[in-house]
Amino acid sequence: MSTMGKYLALKRRNLETARYKAKQMWVCYLFLLPFAALFITFYILPMFTSIRYSFTYYNILEAPRYIGLANYINLILQDDIFLISVKNTFIIALITGPIGYILSFMFAWFINELPRWLRSLAVVIFYAPSIAGNAYFIFSIIFRGDVYGYLNSFLVRVGIINTPILWLTDPKYMMPVVVLVLLWMSMGTGFLAFVAGLKGVDHAQYEAGYVDGVRNRWQELYYITLPNMRPMLLFGAVMSITAAFSVADQTMALCGIPSTDYAAHTVVTHLFDYGYTRFDMGYASAIATLLFLTMILTNNLIQRLLKRVGT
Amino acid sequence: MKKQKAPKVQHISNRRSPNRSLGGDAIIYLLLALTALLMVYPLVFALAASLKPLDELFRFPPRLLPVNPTFDNFADLVVTMGQSWVPFGRYLSNTVLITVIGTTGHLMIASMAAFVLAKYDFPLSKTFFRLVVVALMFSGYVTGIPNYLVLTRLKLVDTPWAVILPDFAAPIGLFLMKQFMEGIPMALIESAKMDGASEMRIFLQIVMPNVKPAWLTLIIFSVQGLWNARAQTVIYSEAKKTLTYALQQIQLGGIARVGQAAAVTVIMMLVPITIFIFSQTRILETMASSGIKE
């Protein structure tokens, strides 16, 4: 074959590979299309609209009016309550985030080793608090401020206290109660993903590990389980961060809005207050944007940490 | 590091695993039992309250368990619901419709997208996935209004689709499925391709069966979310409203309805928990069956 012929044959093969790759790519886009179309319409578009609103004065009734960075400047320099809410949110996020995440994984891991029937039962019991949309309402009865509240009536009868404690209206007790309830609910999305993920870990790897000198459950966890679980750990981390920073429904249901002295006021409660009580959507959007940036930063940090797990 | 997770392989025997000490097991069992009690305690409160007759609900000192358990609260609930001008069954069928269609569509659409994002590399794939993860973090409270504007423009407001369509593309489902699909060895997909299988067939017959725990988990999340959807902002015709909305209206009825409110909490909990238990046992069943090896 002449050099020219070889050259043409090579070209043709390259062309075929390129065509194959292009076809492959189109199939990919086709698979992605339904999700992408809906996702952009219902998530990305509203998200960017909100970010745009954050630079405007927008009271929902009139058209948004551009006011530059005024919302952000007011938030950081003038709004004392916002600063309280930031402090509360960080306290909640720093306590419930990591503890909830680690507990979720540990319990999922322990449960995974139970015998079958017990395992199902345990998963249901641990996940049950998260499954019922507003089961945390129960805590408003348990922690009720008068003597009919379960906890107060118990403490009075035992003789620890004489007068009922205002668990949900005394700023001294509000945060601990909220943190407790959040921890109770922390076996959520991440926990379930861990349970499902642990089931998928190949048992042959544990056998091989044993042969290679893994001697106890902690070594096994570190060298085999964690590296296998990395995708789920990343998923769980994102869910924990999101949940920990956007706490609001529980504090509003338990302590009311606004809570006494803003002691249980969180960033999202503040946002809710401005967006839905005072109808200042521009300001609310600025709060959301700042919170969003904080979460992205935290997420990047955590992801970097998790990349090093088990390697 | 190379991914090496190959979902379940039939194990040689069920003997006690190595690397476990009896003492350690005992401590873990004890810890689990104690925590389980703490977790379940408040839920028992709710269940007990729903079975208490009126005089026991306001009794001092309050007792955990009802002395004369009764289903009066549930019966009252039916009576209250009967007084509204939309029949109870209507609310129920609305919610069931939204839950079934929403979950089915979400599972299919999110899994298809997750499959190509996890297993193929094509322009913009990484950016798109990052966008999905990031979208999870934006507060739903502020996107509520732009979202409403989008729904109005698409003429979806006051139809069940206002709840269903956005749910089809809920970012959490794609994220979950993608993380699990990453564990499927690429060699498996390539060999199927060599045998002439189309992408759709690979997706349905190889990828999906191997991530069963993942999609059963996704179904739980989706059902839980849709069953609890109030949707009062996007659906305003009474006849199209959801069960949760109707029940919560009763729950807000104040002190006279404390018993009914507890009954509502129990009913709302029951369906997701039942579906959850069902899918849990399904996960365990499929555990031992078909496996793949790298």
CA–centroid distance for B210 within its chain: 20
Reply yes or no on whether the pLDDT at B2 is more than 60: no
Interface check B246 vs A, CB under 8 A: no
- Domain presence at residue B8: no
More confident residue, B55 or B294: B55
Tell me which residue range forms the domain holding B49.
21-70
Reply yes or no on whether the pLDDT at B249 is more than 90: no
| Percent of all residues in chain B with a pLDDT value above 90, rounded to a whole number | 19
- Domain presence at residue A20: no
- Domain presence at residue B125: yes
- Domain presence at residue B163: yes
Q: What is the pLDDT of residue B114?
A: 95
Q: Do A217 and B24 touch (CB under 8 A)?
A: yes
**Chain A residues 73-102 within an 8 A CB cutoff of chain B:** none
- Domain presence at residue B11: no
For residue A305, give the nearest of A243, A242, A226 by alpha carbon. Answer: A226
Reply yes or no on whether the pLDDT at A59 is more than 60: yes
Q: Do A200 and B150 touch (CB under 8 A)?
A: no
Reply yes or no on whether the pLDDT at B229 is more than 50: yes
Contact A103, A186 (CB under 8 A): yes
Interface check A133 vs B, CB under 8 A: yes
Q: Do B133 and A238 touch (CB under 8 A)?
A: yes
Q: B33-65: per-residue pLDDT in tens?
A: 998 888 888 788 778 888 888 777 777 666 777
Grade residue B140 by pLDDT with cuts at 50, 70 and 90: confident
**Chain B residues 263-282 within an 8 A CB cutoff of chain A:** 265, 268-269, 272-273, 276-277, 280-281
Both B192 and B238 in one domain: the answer is yes
- Domain presence at residue A22: no
- Domain presence at residue A179: yes
Number of domains in chain A: 1
Q: What is the pLDDT of residue A202?
A: 79
Both B46 and B136 in one domain: the answer is no
> CA-to-CA distance for B175 and B117, rounded, in angstroms?
10
Q: Do B273 and A131 touch (CB under 8 A)?
A: yes
Q: B90-132: per-residue pLDDT in tens?
A: 888 898 999 999 999 999 999 999 999 999 988 888 999 999 9
Q: Comparing A29-38, A140-149, B192-201, which segment has the lowest mean pLDDT? A: A140-149
> CA-to-CA distance for A171 and B273, rounded, in angstroms?
35
- Mean pLDDT over B165-174 rounds to 92
Grade residue A141 by pLDDT with cuts at 50, 70 and 90: confident
Both B49 and B101 in one domain: the answer is no
- Mean pLDDT over B124-151 rounds to 86
Residue type, A148: Y
Both B94 and B207 in one domain: the answer is yes
**Chain B residues 75-104 within an 8 A CB cutoff of chain A:** none
Number of domains in chain B: 2
- Mean pLDDT over B222-237 rounds to 82
More confident residue, B148 or A38: A38
Contact A182, A104 (CB under 8 A): no
What's chain A's average pLDDT? Answer: 87
| Percent of all residues in chain A with a pLDDT value above 70, rounded to a whole number | 98
Q: Do B19 and A214 touch (CB under 8 A)?
A: yes
How crowded is the C-beta side of B235, counted as CA atoms within 13 Å?
Answer: 22
Across A7-16, A68-77, A149-158, B229-238, which has the greatest mean pLDDT? Answer: A68-77
Both B106 and B172 in one domain: the answer is yes
The total of other beta-carbon atoms located within 10 Å of residue B99's CB is 26
Which of A20, A38, A104, A226 should one mutate to test binding to chain B, selecting the residue with the greatest count of B CBs within 10 A? A38
Q: A103-140: per-residue pLDDT in tens?
A: 999 999 999 888 877 888 888 889 888 876 666 777 87
CATH number at residue A220: 1.10.3720.10
More confident residue, B160 or A202: B160
Both B168 and B52 in one domain: the answer is no
Grade residue B89 by pLDDT with cuts at 50, 70 and 90: confident
- The shortest CB-CB distance from B43 to any of A123, A128, A207 is to A128
Contact B111, B222 (CB under 8 A): no
Which of B141, B147, B200, B273 should one mutate to test binding to chain A, selecting the residue with the greatest count of A CBs within 10 A? B141
Q: Do A210 and B136 touch (CB under 8 A)?
A: no
Q: Comparing A27-36, B25-34, B50-59, which segment has the lowest mean pLDDT? A: B50-59
Q: What is the pLDDT of residue B75?
A: 82
- Using a CB-CB cut-off of 8 Å, the residues of chain B touching A207 are 12, 18
Tell me which residue range forms the domain holding A216.
70-307
Q: What is the pLDDT of residue B13?
A: 42
Grade residue A270 by pLDDT with cuts at 50, 70 and 90: very high
Interface check A292 vs B, CB under 8 A: yes
Contacts of A289 by beta carbon, 8 Å cutoff, 6+ apart: A50, A51, A54
Reply yes or no on whether the pLDDT at B293 is more than 60: no
Reply yes or no on whether the pLDDT at B211 is more than 70: yes
Q: Do A271 and B122 touch (CB under 8 A)?
A: no
- Domain presence at residue B16: no
Both B220 and B150 in one domain: the answer is yes
Q: What is the pLDDT of residue B254?
A: 64
Grade residue B285 by pLDDT with cuts at 50, 70 and 90: low
pTM of this prediction exceeds 0.95: no
CA distances from B293 to A5, A91, A207, B191 (A): 44, 46, 15, 13
- Domain presence at residue B90: yes
Grade residue B85 by pLDDT with cuts at 50, 70 and 90: low
Q: Which two tokens stand for residue A263?
A: 């002691």
Nearest chain A CA: its distance from B288 CA (Å): 10
Contacts 24+ apart (CB under 8 A), A247-250: A247/A89, A247/A92, A247/A93, A247/A96, A247/A178, A247/A182, A248/A272, A248/B141, A249/A134, A250/A136, A250/A178, A250/A181, A250/A182, A250/A185
**Chain A residues 28-67 within an 8 A CB cutoff of chain B:** 28-29, 31-32, 34-36, 38-39, 41-47, 49-50, 53, 60
- Domain presence at residue A40: no
Both B104 and B49 in one domain: the answer is no
Q: B175-193: per-residue pLDDT in tens?
A: 999 999 988 888 888 888 8
- The shortest CB-CB distance from A47 to any of B143, B213, B268 is to B143
- Mean pLDDT over A264-290 rounds to 90
CATH number at residue B237: 1.10.3720.10
- Using a CB-CB cut-off of 8 Å, the residues of chain B touching A148 are 58, 60, 62
Interface check B193 vs A, CB under 8 A: no
This model of the complex carries an ipTM of: 0.85
- Mean pLDDT over B213-234 rounds to 85
Both B128 and B267 in one domain: the answer is yes
Nearest chain B CA: its distance from A150 CA (Å): 7
Contacts of B232 by beta carbon, 8 Å cutoff, 6+ apart: B241, B245
Interface check A197 vs B, CB under 8 A: yes
Both B38 and B179 in one domain: the answer is no
Q: Do B7 and A202 touch (CB under 8 A)?
A: yes
Grade residue A311 by pLDDT with cuts at 50, 70 and 90: low
- Using a CB-CB cut-off of 8 Å, the residues of chain B touching A122 are 32, 36
Interface check B217 vs A, CB under 8 A: yes
For residue A199, give the nearest of B175, B288, B188, B106 by alpha carbon. Answer: B288
**Whether residue A258 has a cis bond before it, omega within 30° of 0:** yes
Grade residue B143 by pLDDT with cuts at 50, 70 and 90: confident
More confident residue, B159 or B247: B159
- Mean pLDDT over A288-309 rounds to 88
- Domain presence at residue A41: no
Q: What is the pLDDT of residue A31?
A: 93
Q: What is the pLDDT of residue B10?
A: 42
Reply yes or no on whether the pLDDT at B252 is more than 90: no
Both B243 and B266 in one domain: the answer is yes
Nearest chain A CA: its distance from B79 CA (Å): 23
Q: Which two tokens stand for residue B154?
A: 């698409």
Q: Do B143 and A219 touch (CB under 8 A)?
A: no
More confident residue, B162 or B290: B162
